[in-house]
């Protein structure tokens, strides 16, 4: 009986810790995207988490764009941003003090690290 209570308590604490960590994902994050050809683009992401939904905006040199189809699963996420008629998928992982993001645009792939602003 004590083992069941202990196991339930440990699992509950782990769940709450994970939930609190994901809540820290919300907010402003900045980074510089370096493309394969060497071009660099400063980016500012403003994320909001509601349940498993990821919403927000991305400030790019082309203006502010909404986050579309955002999903979060544990510490991993996916979303897309549409620039003109180009859909730009994003995927990544939240590390607590940083976020790793993989981005695809017109067949080109890039990776960047975001830090809390």
Element (H, E) at 18: helix 2-23
Question: In this structure, are residues 103 and 33 in contact, taking their beta carbons and an 8 Å threshold?
Answer: yes
CB atoms within 10 A of CB 45: 22
For 67, the domain range is: 2-116
Enter the DSSP assignment of 24: T
**Which residues partner with 88 through β-bridges?**
81
Terminal-to-terminal C-alpha distance of the chain: 47
- Kindly give, in sequence order, each residue whose CB lies less than 8 Å from that of residue 75, ignoring residues fewer than 6 positions away: 21, 22, 93, 94, 95
Query: Mind listing the pLDDT tens digit for each residue in 47-84?
Result: 999 999 999 999 999 899 999 999 999 999 999 999 98
Model confidence, pTM = 0.78
Instruction: Give the separation between CA 83 and CA 52, rounded to whole angstroms.
Output: 24
Query: Mind listing the pLDDT tens digit for each residue in 75-117?
Result: 999 999 999 899 999 999 999 899 999 999 888 889 999 999 9
Domain tally, the chain: 1
Find the CATH number of the domain harbouring 111. 2.40.128.120
Percent of the chain with pLDDT over 70: 80
């Amino acid at each position: 009986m004590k083992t069941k209570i202990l196991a339930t308590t440990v699992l509950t604490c782990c769940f709450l810790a994970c939930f609190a960590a994901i809540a820290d994902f919300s907010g402003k994050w900045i980074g510089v995207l370096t493309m394969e050809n060497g071009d660099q683009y400063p980016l500012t992401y403003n994320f909001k988490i509601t349940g498993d939904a990821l919403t927000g905006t991305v400030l790019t040199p082309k203006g502010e764009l909404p986050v579309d189809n955002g999903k979060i699963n544990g510490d991993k996420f996916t979303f897309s941003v549409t620039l003109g008629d180009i859909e730009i998928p994003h995927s990544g992982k939240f590390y607590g003090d940083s976020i790793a993001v993989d981005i695809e645009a017109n067949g080109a792939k890039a990776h960047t690290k975001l830090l809390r602003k």
